[in-house]
C-alpha cells in the first residue's frame, strides 16, 4: 500500500505526523492549533485549517492516517492531486462549519432556557470563557470570583448551574483531528466504487461501500451525535457533527461533480 501512495496523500501524511510529533514536543501547540468555538477567547483565525492536522493520541492518528492512505490514494489516482486536495480541505472546512453551527445552536439553546437569570451577553461570555477549575476549591466550593458574583446576583440555583455547565463544556472543549475530511473521502469512495466491499476491523463482515458508509455514519455518528448528550446523559468525547459535516460536504461535492459529468477527469 505504501508503494502505491500518491503524492498529495504522502504530503498530508507527513504533515499530520509532523504536527502530531510537534504537539508532543511543544504541548502548547495543541492549545493554539486545535479548534475552539468562535466566541471563545482561545479561538484563532487559523484553527479551521490547523485543527484537521492535530490528533489526540496514537490510535486517533493511526486510524485517520490508515483511512487517508487507503481511500485517499485511490481517489487521488483518478482525480489528480489538485482536485483531491481541494476535496479533502473542503470536507475539513465543512466539518468545522457544521460542528460550529451545532455548537452555536446548543450553547444558545441552553442560554435561552436560562433566560430567567437575566444574564447580559457580557456576563454570559465571562462565565463561558472562565476556566471552571479555577472557580472551585478542593472541597468543591465556589471561591470568590467574577463568576460567583454574577451567579449570586442572578440567583442561580444548583440545577440551573448544572444546565449551564453543558454550554460551558461545548464552549470550552476544542475539536481536533482529520476525521471530518476522512469522512468526506469515505463518501467519495462509496460514490465512485459503490460495489467495493468494506468491513470494520472488529466485525469482519464485508458489506458493499454504498451500504456500509451510510449505515456506519447513521448508526455511529447519527446516534451518538444526536442522542448522547441530550437523551442518554453522557458525551462520547467525539465531535460527531464534525464527522457529519465532512460527510455532508463530500456528498454535496460528489453530487455537483456527478451532475457536471466529469467524475473521472483529472485536474492535473
What is the pairing mode between strands 197-200 and 203-208? antiparallel
Looking at the predicted structure, is the pLDDT value of residue 232 above 50?
A: no
Decide yes or no: CATH 1.20.1540.10 for domain 2-118+154-259: yes
The pLDDT value given to residue 185: 97
The residues spanned by each domain of the chain are: 2-118+154-259
pLDDT tens sequence across 180-209 = 999 999 999 999 999 988 876 666 778 888
pTM value is: 0.88
pLDDT tens sequence across 152-188 = 999 999 899 988 998 999 999 999 999 999 999 999 9
pLDDT tens sequence across 29-42 = 999 999 999 999 99
For residues 36 and 231, the model is more confident at 36
The pLDDT value given to residue 18: 97
The pLDDT value given to residue 231: 40
pLDDT tens sequence across 75-115 = 999 999 999 999 999 999 999 999 999 999 999 999 999 98
The pLDDT value given to residue 211: 84
Half-sphere CA count of 266, side-chain side, radius 13 A: 8
Mean pLDDT of the chain: 88
Q: What is the pLDDT averaged over residues 200-227?
A: 73
Report the residue count for the chain. 268
Looking at the predicted structure, is the pLDDT value of residue 67 above 90?
A: yes
The pLDDT value given to residue 81: 95
Amino acid at each position: 500500500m505504501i508503494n502505491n501512495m500518491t503524492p498529495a496523500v504522502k504530503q498530508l501524511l507527513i504533515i499530520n505526523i509532523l504536527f502530531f510529533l510537534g504537539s508532543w514536543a511543544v504541548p502548547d501547540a495543541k492549545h493554539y492549533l486545535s479548534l475552539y468555538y468562535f466566541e471563545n477567547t482561545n479561538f484563532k483565525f487559523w484553527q479551521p485549517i490547523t485543527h484537521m492536522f492535530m490528533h489526540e493520541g496514537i490510535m486517533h492518528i493511526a486510524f485517520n492516517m490508515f483511512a487517508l492512505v487507503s481511500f485517499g490514494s485511490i481517489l487521488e489516482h483518478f482525480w489528480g492531486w489538485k482536485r483531491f486536495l481541494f476535496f479533502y480541505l473542503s470536507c475539513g472546512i465543512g466539518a468545522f462549519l457544521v460542528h460550529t453551527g451545532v455548537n452555536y445552536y446548543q450553547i444558545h439553546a441552553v442560554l435561552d432556557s436560562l433566560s430567567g437569570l437575566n444574564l447580559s451577553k457580557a456576563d454570559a461570555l465571562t462565565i463561558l470563557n472562565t476556566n471552571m477549575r479555577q472557580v472551585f476549591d478542593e472541597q468543591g466550593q465556589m471561591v470568590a470570583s467574577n463568576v460567583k458574583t454574577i451567579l449570586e446576583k442572578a440567583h442561580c440555583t444548583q440545577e440551573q448551574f448544572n444546565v449551564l455547565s453543558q454550554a460551558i463544556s461545548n464552549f470550552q472543549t476544542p475539536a481536533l483531528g482529520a476525521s471530518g475530511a476522512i469522512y468526506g473521502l469515505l463518501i467519495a469512495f462509496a460514490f465512485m466504487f459503490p460495489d467495493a466491499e468494506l468491513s470494520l476491523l472488529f466485525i469482519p463482515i464485508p458489506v458493499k461501500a454504498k451500504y456500509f458508509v451510510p449505515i456506519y455514519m447513521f448508526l455511529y455518528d447519527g446516534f451518538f451525535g444526536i442522542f448522547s448528550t441530550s437523551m442518554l446523559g453522557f458525551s462520547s468525547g467525539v465531535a460527531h457533527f464534525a464527522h457529519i459535516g465532512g460527510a455532508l460536504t463530500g456528498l454535496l461535492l460528489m453530487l455537483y461533480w456527478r451532475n457536471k459529468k466529469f467524475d473521472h477527469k483529472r485536474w492535473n
